[in-house]
Amino acid sequence: MLEFSVFGEIHVQDGDRHLGPRDLGGIKSKQILEILLLNRGHTVSKDSLADFLWGDSLPTDYFGALESHVSVLRGRLQPGTKVRQSVIRTEPGGYRFVAEQATVDLDRFDALVADAGRARAPRSRQLLTAALELVKGDVLEDEPDAEWSCALRERYQARCVEVCVAAAEAALRAGQADAALRLADQALAIDHVAEAAYRTAMVAAYQLGRYDGALDTFERCKAVLAAELGVEPLEETVALYEAVSRRDPRLSHPSAAGGLRLGAGRGKAEQFLGRSEELARVVGHVQTAVTGRLSVLVVQGEAGVGKSALVDAALTRVNGTPVARTACSGLDRDFPCLAVVASLQKLFDGEDGERPTPLDDVLLAASVSAASGKTLPPPWALDSMAAIVREHAPFVLVVDGLEGADDMSLAVLEHLRVACADAPVALIGVTRDHGATAGATSLLEGAARLELGPLTPGDLETSNIVELHAHTGGHPLYVSAMLQAGGSAGDSVPKPVGELVAARSRAFGPREHRVLRAAAVLSEPFTAATVAHLLDDDAGEVAEVLDKLCAHRVLWSTEGRFSFRHRVVRDSLFQMLSPARRRLLTSRLGSPHTAGQRRLEAA
């Protein structure tokens, strides 16, 4: 079986044969492999491949050129192998990387991290360390500007930071502060605004007796956050600084790592702005629940609208209340109850990591039940979880990415909501407003809901940046990105903001990205038929793509006519087009007086 590595430059291992990036038949053959590999298991159309490879400089016979490069690539990867048995499979209209015939370091990384989430110390730390050993650099680091790799590279940078911090916290609990400090520095080398890594480094330096170093780390954190994000450190970071300043003896204990939540801190493009009413509501929910009876609040909204930032801000205002938190992902569907158990397991932080907890048996029972087709673990397992909830209350249980939770986790949460109705617990679910499973919908029926939309002009007025509202539509992701880039509501979009828009656009898929770029040429509103004509594509299929983009809230439609929701997205995509591509697209409209041509002339 072929072994592929994409952390760093691409490498292939086939038994004793080793292929590097210059052994794959040329730049285009290498790039074809990278595109297919990152989309493994899915067919990539020839049109999409050609667009990625050549952009505005398509060869006359680009289908023939593609076939030639693929033929060379197959010969380098698997010499003597028949085409129908190749790892690069020909499909109608495109090619597919056959995932079952290969192993990929990204998949091994993900599997190790998932296993670490279910394991006890010290096995969990060993698995995290093994995952980090796979990371030889950024994903496809020799293709820094390639459209097919940017979004994935950013995603794994964020994951590597989280794994470094988690491994550092595990090292602190094991009394190995020197290893924890190295891991925290490794996280900061990837993302120098990762506030959780600064906190871990402060505790590690303190435990090593480097008190001045711990204080210097806080000052560095404060300076970086001010320069990069224009914000102050979180309250928990300031509290840690104060504890270091007064030489709090509790910081010398391994359990000092227990208060450091994985992934806490702000992302590069997220900043908490406005939302005073919504913030007060979340804080009020927590305070009422932890002094009374269990209640559920669901914070709901589109991706990037600031749901997690709102919850983070609320939790800093209820200091002293323990927080159990987990994030669901697609991997959870293969590991029943992992989401619930992983969050409740954090209630045991600070206890003997070598000692099994009742939750280890629960997780095993859930797996056995799921394998036999059951929707719930056995009654004793449910009773055990309910007892844990009651024993550790009051606390806040936060489940991020609720739409990605497996069905059994959702059913167990619903059971706990009923069985522990009189326990002082605040359950907060964070979920996207589309794509939720039927189980998630059922769980949320009796919950209080907080729907987050874009920021209002009033939210931005309090920060004296109301002029950004018309440009960004109040979307927190774009507002924060504009502020970080020092941008204004002018015609030119700052480069970092354009890169963010491009990465989000590419994340929807090659075809969606291609449609959005074409639509950016047009005046609004536009029709699917016009976009299809620009791309020489099927109008029905383009309409489906546009509808999908409406569901993702990139576009909105009225009576079959479409517009961009956020001007910054349209302007960024238009700005990304080369002059040659603009001329090509508008020439297809057939008249110098078309809407697209008028927009080009105005630009």
Q: Which residue has the higher pLDDT, 130 or 367?
A: 130
Q: Which residue has the higher pLDDT, 258 or 517?
A: 517
Say what the alpha-carbon torsion angle 51, 57, 58, 64 is, to the nearest 10 degrees. Answer: -110
Tell which residue, 512, 521, 524, has the closest CA to residue 587: 521
Q: Which tens digits make up the pLDDT trace of 267-319?
A: 333 445 678 888 889 999 998 888 888 888 988 888 778 888 888 888 888 76
Average pLDDT of the chain to the nearest whole number: 81
9-23, 60-74, 180-194, 394-408 — which is least confidently predicted? 394-408
Tokens representing residue 236 in the block: 């928990």
Q: Which H or E element spans position 132?
A: helix 123-133
User: What average pLDDT score do residues 427-452 get?
Assistant: 69
In one-letter notation, the amino acid at residue 253 is: H
In order of their start, the domains of the chain are: 2-105 (1.10.10.10), 149-259 (1.25.40.10), 276-451 (3.40.50.300), 491-602 (1.10.10)
- 599, 521 contact by CB (below 8 A): yes
Confidence at residue 353, expressed as pLDDT on a 0 to 100 scale = 44
In sequence order, the 6+-apart residues with CB closer than 8 A to the CB of 315 are 286, 323, 396, 398
DSSP-derived secondary structure letter, 254: G
Q: Which tens digits make up the pLDDT trace of 333-386?
A: 556 777 777 778 767 654 444 445 677 777 777 777 777 777 788 888 888 888
